[in-house]
Structure 1
Amino acid sequence: MKVVALADTHAPRRWKSCPPRVAEHLRDADVILHAGDVCVAGVLDELAAYAPVHVVKGNNDGPDVVAPETLELDLGGLRVAMIHDSGAAQGRPARMRRRFPTADLVVFGHSHIPLDHSENGLRIFNPGSPTDRRRQPHGTLGLLRIENGRLLDARIVAVT
């Protein structure tokens, strides 16, 4: 299963429409995860044209973005949790383990800083932002490959 992870698209200020380099990765996605700060619900409609979308609410999402604060789902047997703001970097893995005790993977956003880190059996993954790179050298997204309940590959991919 190919999963594309996005966060912090910040439409319409940063996301006018799906950037071509993002669309390249969406074309063969089985599932799309958006870790919040969609900002305009139309982005979710645009993404849903490619694959089913799971989303959590970000701190900049208004009432038109209907999404839970957290989400826990099974993707091909892998237990995935989603949250927008995972808090301070220090202590994050332990905090996410307490918050999502059964998760194999936590996908989050908010900082716009890509991160792929494993600790004590928990993988925490921030895809960064494809459209609002802030202090990062590139806009990014995440690519995850899941098979038989295992995360076989997780990559941060530059799209700008």
Structure 2
Amino acid sequence: MIVAVISDTHMPRGPRRLPDACVERLRSADAILHAGDFMTVEVLHQLQALGPPVHAVCGNVDSRELILGLPVQRVVAFEGVRIGMVHDAGPSGGRLARMRNRFPDADAVVFGHSHIPLHEDQDGFQIFNPGSPTERRRAPKHTMGVATIDGDSLTFELIALD
């Protein structure tokens, strides 16, 4: 199973749009995870129109409609894997342990907020930030992630989009 992972799309803003390579991966995935900061509900609807089911949490710059309609955190299950989702995982110090405590039944946590890609793994528990496909800030490139799930095995890959 292939799960496309994005966060911090921050749209609409000027001519900003998802890169074609990102849209291709989203469309061909079995599911999409979005870790918040869509900005408007129309962006969620655009993602849903691509086909795969979209699992999402709200972010700190999302519209009132998104904040009322999406959870702050959630856990999604695929095959034998459980992935926690939250927008802001807090300060970098102690983040992995904090996420393990916040999502004790999850195998991994996907988050966003910083726009800086990150993947950490400790004793089989993983945290993953896919960066942003549209607003890289201090990251060198626009990015997204792909999670590959095979039974109870989960691997994350960071994809550079430019």
Query: Identity over aligned residues, as a percent?
Result: 48
**Gaps in structure 2 of 5+ consecutive residues:** none
The ranges of structure 1 where at least 4 consecutive aligned residues each deviate by more than 2 angstroms after the TM superposition are 14-19
1:1-150 superposed matches below 5 A: 1-13=1-13, 16-50=16-50, 51-65=52-66, 66-150=69-153
Q: In the superposition, relative to structure 1, how do residues 32 and 76 fare at CA in structure 2: closer, same or farther (>3 Å)?
A: same
- Work out whether residues 14 and 132 of structure 1, in 8 Å CA contact, stay in contact via their aligned partners in 2: no
Matched residue of 2:22: which SS? helix
Deviations 1:61-80 (A, max 9, x none): 12121200001121122011
Amino acid at match of 2:144: L
- Work out whether residues 117 and 131 of structure 2, in 8 Å CA contact, stay in contact via their aligned partners in 1: yes
Amino acid at match of 2:128: F
Amino acid at match of 1:109: G
After TM superposition, the score normalised by the length of structure 1 is 0.94
**Gaps in structure 1 of 5+ consecutive residues:** none
Deviations 1:103-154 (A, max 9, x none): 1010000000001110132100000000000011110000111011211x31
Q: In the superposition, relative to structure 1, how do residues 16 and 23 fare at CA in structure 2: closer, same or farther (>3 Å)?
A: same
Superposition deviation, residue 86 in structure 1:
0.3
Superposition deviation, residue 19 in structure 1:
2.4
After TM superposition, the score normalised by the length of structure 2 is 0.93
Measured on the aligned residues, the alpha-carbon RMSD in Å equals 1.3
The alignment covers a number of residue pairs equal to: 159
Matched residue of 1:106: which SS? strand
